[in-house]
Amino acid sequence: MGRMDGKVVLITGAARGQGRSHALRLAGEGADIIAIDACTDVASAPYALATEDDLAETVKQVENLDRRIVARRADVRDHAGLKAAVDEGVSELGHLDVVCANAGILSFGPAWELTDEQWQDMIDINLTGVWHTLKATIPTLIEQGTGGSIIITSSVAGLKGFGYVGAYSAAKHGVVGLMRTLVNEVSVFNIRVNCVNPTTVDTDMIQNEAAYGYFQVDNREDFGAVFQTFHTMPISWIEKRDVSNAVLYLASDDSRYVTGLTLYVDAGFLNKVG
């Protein structure tokens, strides 16, 4: 008896990183998965993004858990393409219960020196892309009449001002606001909307040369030493599974009345003083 038996979960950014981790954690508890990823680089994101091979690997690992999975390439900036992918997945798996709006990018720069492209790509993917994901799924949830759970991947940068990630911070704050408005619109349908707000997670998004360079280090250990100073707990970053465990709580009926929550998984980041 899994905590997600009979449920269908849609996950954007599912090719690798946190998205793949959520797919596996939820599938491990009985869910079937609709996995969406753009599988393409974004010029202003200074690191390689996920590929079609990555998405295929997510498919393989979910199928190894004896769950069904529908995987489609779609870019959250393209509402029509995203909607088509969502509808195909729902059509094949029969219904939709949970939406993990997880797709996102990261780039760095002082706020006043960001290029138009850096700013626009960040807002288009990390904020508008989340809105597109909700546009593409909420009508189905409402029509089904069986409620639902929407989990938006925000960040500690959605609650506090992290230096040199101004566009990222704006977008991650923005989705918190979007969540709060949605609570006032969809609660009547028993659809819950929450954010998960992780601190740094040990994934390709941060473990790359560009990120190291920005913090004036050139290796993982020194990078880790920098990030450990942000947490009250003696760690540099959390693991993907720590975010997935929070997502599982929010996706399951264990949290049936939890809505409007910013669930931060942050090793004390938001509360650290000094």
Residue ranges that bind another protein, judged by CB under 8 A: 180, 183-184, 187-188, 190, 192, 199, 231-235, 238, 242, 245-246, 248-249, 254-261, 263-268, 270-274
Shorter beta-carbon distance to another protein: residue 132 or 192: 192
Per DSSP, which regions of the chain are E strands?
A: 8-12, 32-37, 69-73, 98-101, 148-153, 191-198, 262-265
State the nearest-atom distance from the C-beta of 166 to another protein, in Å: 24
Minimum Å distance from CB 219 to another protein? 23
Among residues 50 and 267, whose Cβ is nearest to another protein? 267
Instruction: Identify any residues that bridge with 149 across adjacent strands, giving them in sequence order.
Output: 98, 192
Rounded to an integer, what distance in angstroms lies between the CA atom of residue 151 and that of residue 166? 23
Which candidate in 47, 164, 168, 212 is catalytic? 168
Q: What is the DSSP letter of 128?
A: I
Q: Are 188 and 148 in contact (CB under 8 A)?
A: no
Residue 256 DSSP SS3: coil
Q: Which is nearer to another protein, 9 or 39 (CB)?
A: 9
Residue 249 is among the residues annotated as catalytic for this protein = no
Question: Dihedral of the CA atoms 72, 67, 202, 170 (nearest 10)?
Answer: 50
* CA 165, chain centre distance (Å): 17
Minimum distance from residue 246 beta carbon to another protein (Å):
7
Dihedral sign, CA of 149, 170, 163, 202?
A: positive
Closest CB to another protein among 61 and 245? 245
Instruction: Report the nearest approach of another protein to the CB of residue 193 (Å).
Output: 9
| Catalytically active residues, by annotation | 168
